[in-house]
């Protein structure tokens, strides 16, 4: 049974308090609709660009923006496809958020599913992985490397263990003991656990970040989609990978990562 290990520290409490305060200000801020849409569109471009850049995509911001506008750019075909795919992922989780989020018709009720996870991976790797592997759990051993340094960060579980560990994770995410955890921490735990399990042959980092974003979106912490968490991770990539590595170094304790 999956049970995340972490301690609610003063630092975590302080940051959650700050997040709650900022969320309230943003939620109740009055803004001209046209400006709100503009901020959301800009954040979407940053999310797609930095969400692929941190994984080694070589398109610069301007090129990524032109790709998303439907223009042609002189670049490696895979880099262009990754940007298109991640745009499609963000649109997919937006639709899930609208339908299954707190403000949606279901009032936030409904389980997270492995089908959503596999669909996110399918969209992430469209025209990149062969069709038999896209949207399917891996069948071989993999290692996780820092895309900036090439250093092996950690070794995920064997392929045969992936379905079991994913099932145990979703059981936690959907049951009361998981739902009692603050949504921001749930998103952080989701992010790490999907990276740790590394359920797919490729695209796991993007899938993990996208599914964590879905948790925030469904549970009311999308803050109107004005910000790009991916931009923060890319701007602090050494700290990002270091915090991920620290979990295994601390025998699975997630506290430092969540802080």
Domain of 115, CATH number, reads 1.10.3290.10
**Mean pLDDT, range 80-109, rounded to an integer:** 87
Q: List the structure tokens of 208.
A: 């993990």
- Express each pLDDT in 99-136 by its tens digit: 988 766 666 668 999 999 999 999 999 999 987 899 99
- Express each pLDDT in 130-141 by its tens digit: 878 999 999 999
Is the residue at 24 inside a domain? no
At residue 145, the 3 state secondary structure works out as strand
Indicate the range of 7-11, 47-51, 101-105, 196-200 predicted with least confidence: 101-105
Please check the confidence at residue 216 and state whether its pLDDT lies above 80: yes
Please check the confidence at residue 241 and state whether its pLDDT lies above 60: yes
pLDDT the model gives residue 107: 61
**Mean pLDDT, range 5-20, rounded to an integer:** 97
Enzyme catalytic residues: 198
- How many structural domains comprise the chain? 1
Indicate the range of 16-30, 68-82, 154-168, 181-195 predicted with least confidence: 16-30
Tokens 């969540």 locate to 258
Q: Is 221 annotated as a binding residue?
A: no
Please check the confidence at residue 224 and state whether its pLDDT lies above 60: no
Is the residue at 57 inside a domain? yes
pLDDT the model gives residue 129: 94
Q: Is 107 annotated as a binding residue?
A: no
In angstroms, the CA 52 to CA 57 distance is 5
Is the residue at 14 inside a domain? no
Is the residue at 124 inside a domain? yes
Count of Cβ atoms closer than 10 Å to residue 244 Cβ: 21
In angstroms, the CA 66 to CA 86 distance is 14
Average pLDDT, the chain: 92
pTM of the model: 0.93
Q: Is 207 annotated as a binding residue?
A: yes
Q: Residue 204 belongs to what domain range?
A: 33-258
- Express each pLDDT in 152-201 by its tens digit: 767 899 999 999 999 999 999 999 999 999 999 999 999 999 999 999 99
Find residue 152's DSSP bridge partners.
Answer: 145
Please check the confidence at residue 225 and state whether its pLDDT lies above 80: no
**Mean pLDDT, range 76-94, rounded to an integer:** 97
Residue 26: exposed, middle, or buried by beta-carbon count in 10 A (0-12, 13-18, 19+)?
middle
The CA-atom distances, in angstroms, between 205 and each of 70, 162, 185, 256 are 25, 16, 18, 19
Q: Is 188 annotated as a binding residue?
A: no
Is the residue at 243 inside a domain? yes
Helix ranges, the chain (H) = 10-27, 33-53, 61-68, 77-100, 114-124, 162-174, 176-179, 183-197, 204-218, 229-235, 237-249, 255-258
In angstroms, the CA 24 to CA 29 distance is 8
Count of Cβ atoms closer than 10 Å to residue 189 Cβ: 24
Is the residue at 19 inside a domain? no
Q: Is 236 annotated as a binding residue?
A: no
Cβ(196)–Cβ(165) below 8 Å: no
Query: Residue 74: which pLDDT band, with cuts at 50, 70 and 90?
Result: very high
Please check the confidence at residue 16 and state whether its pLDDT lies above 90: yes
**Mean pLDDT, range 210-223, rounded to an integer:** 91
């Amino acid at each position: 049974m999956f049970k995340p290990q972490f301690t609610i520290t003063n630092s975590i409490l302080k940051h959650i308090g700050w997040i709650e305060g900022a969320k309230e200000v943003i939620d109740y801020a009055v803004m001209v609709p046209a400006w709100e849409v503009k901020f959301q569109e800009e954040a979407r471009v940053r999310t797609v660009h930095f969400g692929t850049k941190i994984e080694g995509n070589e398109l610069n911001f301007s090129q990524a923006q032109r790709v998303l506008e439907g223009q042609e750019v002189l670049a490696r075909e895979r880099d262009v496809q990754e940007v298109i795919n991640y745009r499609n992922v963000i649109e997919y989780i937006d639709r899930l958020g609208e339908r299954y989020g707190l403000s949606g018709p279901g009032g936030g009720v409904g389980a997270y599913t492995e089908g959503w996870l596999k669909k996110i991976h399918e969209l992430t790797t469209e025209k990149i992985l062969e069709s038999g592997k896209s949207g399917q759990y891996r069948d071989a051993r993999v290692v996780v490397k820092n895309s900036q340094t090439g250093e092996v960060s950690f070794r995920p579980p064997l392929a045969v263990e992936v379905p079991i560990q994913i099932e145990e994770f979703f059981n936690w995410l959907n049951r009361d003991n998981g739902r009692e955890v603050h949504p921001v921490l749930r998103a952080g735990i989701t992010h790490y656990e999907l990276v740790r399990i590394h359920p797919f042959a490729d695209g796991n980092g993007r899938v993990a970040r996208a599914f964590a974003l879905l948790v925030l979106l469904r549970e009311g912490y999308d803050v109107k989609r004005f910000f790009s968490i991916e931009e923060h991770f890319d701007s602090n990539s050494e700290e990002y990978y270091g915090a991920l590595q620290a979990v295994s170094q601390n025998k699975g304790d997630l506290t430092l990562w969540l802080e």
